[in-house]
Structure 1
Amino acid sequence: MAFIPVKSLDGASDPFEYLLLTDNEGVVLGQALVQTNGRLTKAGATATPEFIAQRTQAAETTSTKPIPVTRVDEVREFEVQSTATIAQTDVGSKVTLHTDGLRVTATKTNGTFLISATDGATTNSKVRGYFRR
């Protein structure tokens, strides 16, 4: 599972932007990304993503095919799977991204994904939330 947009608090739909990946780096649909040196790369665990990939793209030695992305803002709610249990008591907490940029962890130190709902499932909870700095 990856970051899937669920709703927007302002009701707006996001337009696609087309940007280049970092050379030798691929991306998966729904992956959290940041822009570094004018190119897209996977967001780190404590980074606040700037974009979500809207297509899977294999790595290119020299990136020449811009990929569609949507810009992350604080009013867009996403659904995603966790790598650990996210309990109901964690709603309102911020957790970190997993190293794959496709899931979240239960780690709260320096988290950027604010949990708004969880199914509380053991091991891999399905959660909803917002990115917050």
Structure 2
Amino acid sequence: MLAQPDTFADQFRALLRAGAPTDLRVMIPMVADLRELRACRRLLHRAADDAGLAPPPLGIMVELPEAVAVAATVAAAHRHGRTVSVCGDAAAHPLVVPLLLGLGCDSLSVAPSRPRRGTRPRAPARLRDLR
């Protein structure tokens, strides 16, 4: 995406237009390091400025080996006042959900068709047991 910043900026502008009346949040896939995240943030802020809108919260999809030290990533995000959301298959897997919650992930996002009976995590009162 960053190899073609003009195209990436066009995508941000389209997201901003379509998401203006919503609680838009943007997650960037395949981010390997802080330099890439900062480059994405600059493009998003520039697109928001051009559109006369406030930039929405920006997050990354932690999916590359370079970024997958999950506990360290969660701790670093929380130190900087950021929330940690997990999306995709891991967020829907009944054995992985307790691990993610125990590591301190703040929210899980799955496709509407994904949750099945029996895949809901244990009651929130047990969260302390996961940590």
Give the TM-score, by structure 2 length.
Answer: 0.24
Give the TM-score, by structure 1 length.
Answer: 0.24
Q: Report which of the two structures shows the higher radius of gyration computed on alpha carbons.
A: 2
Structure with more of its chain in strand, by fraction: 1
Structure with more of its chain in helix, by fraction: 2
Give the structure, 1 or 2, with the largest relative contact order (CA under 8 Å, sep 6 or more). Answer: 1
